[in-house]
Structure 1
Amino acid sequence: MEKRILGKTGLAVSVIGFGGIPLQRVDQEMARKMIQKASQLGINFIDSAKGYTVSETLIGHGRKGERENWVIATKSMARSYDAMKADVASSLGSFQTDYIDLYQLHNVRTQEQYDEVMGENGAYRALLEAQQEGKIGHIGFTTHDVHMLEKAIESGYFSTVQFPYNIVENQGAALFEKAKAANIGVIVMKPMAGGAIDQGSLALKYIVENPNVTTAIPGMDSLNQIEENAAVGKQKEPLTSEEREQIQKIALALGETFCRRCGYCGPCPQGIDISTQFLLEGYYLRYDLKDWAKERYVAVGKNASDCIECGMCEPKCPYDLPIRKMLQRVKENLS
């Protein structure tokens, strides 16, 4: 398995990592088998989150006795100092470890949220303290917003950034180059576009061909998926002309109704976070996390059910997506 250095952390991580969100769908014994199989195939980077229900706990059981073989990353949506401090303690217990290699501020989407987490009583201060106490090794940043990605890279506060990147979502590519120049590790989430791309090996090959990407973290919930994904990390051949043609076809096909979460459609007069609606729908339809997605759909407050079809979003979308029809579909699926 090819290894790349994860920016300032200095950690050598497998170019194909293990995305922990779908572990919620398997039992403890299957999770153990999957994590052991991944380790045997050379995968050594695993990513989870406080919001992924039992994922951290399953990883803790699954990697027991093999702590030195894994670079463990997790993340929290906590915004305040106290909430983040509690989440770090909780994660340490779930993983059954005394340190976590990478702890990330999760899904910071707006300037207001950024100011909150970086403020005097914000979550970042709690992570700095945890780092000084040896509870975490490094601090990272995740977002779906390209402007927040740029801000995180330019700030100099983070060792890694995590952002969506795949055949149809490449809005972060130029900033990945900037991150590498600043010695910031780049972790790619949504490598299969949230399950919209069914040609997994091709999708991963496209991503790892980018030298500015450190590791891609496809979600996996079966031994077969682990074997297929790990095989990509051992390939050395560049994409063929036929594969590039296929990639273009996939991008064109998804382009008609696929939200890239660029955020240009906002702000919505009704206060709907439009891109989050499509993200949650993807978890519902393609990740088979129906209850989890519905809970978060309700929790965001304003959702697709509040759309009055004013149409102000559609002229601002650079991909000419039929946003009103897409929100109606979200409402039918998740309401």
Structure 2
Amino acid sequence: MEYRKLPHGAEEISVIGLGMGGIHNASEGEIVKTLHAAVDAGVNFLDFVPSKACAFGGYAKALRGRRDKVMLQVHIGADYSSGEYGWTTNARKSIKEFEARLASLGTDYADFAFIHCIDEDADFDKVMNGAAWDYALKCKQAGTIRHLGFSTHNAGIARRFLATGMMDLGMFSLNPMYDYTDESAYGKGSADDRAALYKEFEAQGVGISVMKAFAGGQLLDAKASPFRHALTSYQCIQYALDRPGVLTVLPGIRGLADLNELLGFFDASPQERDYSVVGRFAPPETTGVCVYCNHCQPCPAGISIGLANKYYDLSHMGDEMAKSHYLNLEHHASDCTECGHCNKRCPFNVDQMSRMREMGGYFGI
């Protein structure tokens, strides 16, 4: 397992966590077996928004004796009063359901409490100026909530949450389809705007937990994909993990077989994870921008081109730590020999040699 540190905290979060939208299809015994196997494999980040409330019994059993080994992402606004998933902006119901979820999971705290599924400005205004947000702040102070977060599919709403200065983590829908097309309501925002948003998350020290990494399975099916080409789950996971700010990807699972398939990511070769084919599908107007995919590697001069670009972009956005991260790299842009290797290999048509010259002047070495 690989881990990434929460910027606003000491927690190390597994780069693959678990979404639970489809786990209700498994028996209680299968749920317990699956979660035990996940924890044993080092998975320590779990989101709890199943499609049906019946799944919570299996969760509770699986967590007994293992609560301290996992971090739970529990949502304020997820409504299971009917027995099935729903969402609400009603403060009283949101609070009641949040407390019911903690009780059903057999715990007295949430590692992360998320303001749930806010995609409209009116909903943001209602929730963030109401009793539900006041409740979240009080629980944070009391320790019932360890970290505050939010979930949205809307880049503009994400920025409003970031502007509060109170968030530690944001759950956001992220995949090549949402980043490079406008064919889904779950991927709101232009390619350039979404790319800038990920950098804003990182610059502000707010992590991203990724939902819909496979676009609901569309990207895994050539007929359903807007690119008319199937990507693999491993390509989608690596794509998400390479975006700035991303700490963990939360694919949905239905049981042990799905878990084992996910964990195969760590044994996959670089070629199996390589998503550079996306560059062939991206609209021409979105190319020319480094996405840190490292398809240009290995650099003959030893420069970590993806990281150098990332720190350069973040520094431009005002991230004060980015320059020191850049300076700590073993090789810098000034080491570039302009051999052209990176330009020939870049699937997104970035003129990396020109970028290296810019960086050398900007950072002064």
Cα separation, 2, equivalents of 1:208 and 1:236: 15
CA contact (8 A) 2:19 2:49 kept: no
More displaced stretch, 217-226 vs 164-173: 164-173
Structure 1 residue 249: Cα displacement: 6.4
Cα separation, 1, equivalents of 2:173 and 2:51: 18
CA contact (8 A) 1:164 1:190 kept: yes
Question: Which residue of the partner structure matches residue 23 of structure 1?
Answer: 23
CA deviation map 1:117-155 (0-9, x unaligned)? 111x33111111222222221111111111101111122
CA contact (8 A) 2:213 2:237 kept: yes
Paired residue secondary structure (2:219): coil
Question: Which residue of the partner structure matches residue 137 of structure 2?
Answer: 128
In the superposition, the TM-score normalised over structure 1's length comes to 0.68
Higher relative contact order (CA 8 A, sep 6+): 1
- Is 1:35 equivalent to 2:50 in the alignment? no
Cα separation, 1, equivalents of 2:50 and 2:15: 24
What aligned pairs does 1:122-201 form with structure 2 within 5 A after superposition?
122-170=131-179, 171=191, 172-198=194-220, 199-201=232-234
Cα separation, 2, equivalents of 1:50 and 1:229: 18
Question: In the superposition, relative to structure 1, how do residues 158 and 233 fare at CA in structure 2: closer, same or farther (>3 Å)?
Answer: farther
CA contact (8 A) 1:188 1:216 kept: yes
Structure 1 residue 234: Cα displacement: 6.2
Structure 1 residue 161: Cα displacement: 0.8
Question: Which residue of the partner structure matches residue 221 of structure 1?
Answer: 254
CA contact (8 A) 1:14 1:42 kept: yes
- For structure 1, list consecutive stretches of 5 or more residues without a partner in the other structure: 253-335
Question: Which residue of the partner structure matches residue 232 of structure 1?
Answer: 265
CA deviation map 1:87-135 (0-9, x unaligned)? 221011111011110110111111111111111x331111112222222
- For structure 2, list consecutive stretches of 5 or more residues without a partner in the other structure: 78-87, 180-190, 221-231, 284-365
| Percent of aligned pairs with the same amino acid | 24
Structure 1 residue 239: Cα displacement: 7.2
- Is 1:85 equivalent to 2:85 in the alignment? no
Cα separation, 2, equivalents of 1:100 and 1:56: 15
Q: Of the two, which has the highest radius of gyration?
A: 2
Paired residue secondary structure (1:21): coil
More displaced stretch, 3-12 vs 215-224: 3-12
Cα separation, 1, equivalents of 2:104 and 2:249: 24
Cα separation, 1, equivalents of 2:216 and 2:282: 14
Question: Which residue of the partner structure matches residue 328 of structure 2?
Answer: none
**Equivalent residue letter for 1:174:** A
CA deviation map 1:2-54 (0-9, x unaligned)? 10122324321100110011112111100011101111221110001386523
Structure 1 consecutive aligned stretches of length 4 or more whose deviation exceeds 6 Å = 238-241, 249-252
Question: In the superposition, relative to structure 1, how do residues 138 and 52 fare at CA in structure 2: closer, same or farther (>3 Å)?
Answer: farther
Structure 1 residue 211: Cα displacement: 4.3
Structure 1 residue 81: Cα displacement: 3.5
Paired residue secondary structure (2:167): coil
Structure 1 residue 177: Cα displacement: 1.3
Cα separation, 2, equivalents of 1:10 and 1:236: 30
Structure 1 residue 173: Cα displacement: 3.1
What aligned pairs does 1:35-114 form with structure 2 within 5 A after superposition?
35-49=35-49, 52-77=52-77, 78-114=88-124
Match of 2:276 among 244, 249, 256: 244
Structure 1 residue 82: Cα displacement: 2.3
CA deviation map 1:70-91 (0-9, x unaligned)? 0111213242442232122101
Cα separation, 1, equivalents of 2:154 and 2:197: 12
In the superposition, the TM-score normalised over structure 2's length comes to 0.63
Aligned length, in residue pairs: 249
CA contact (8 A) 1:15 1:233 kept: no
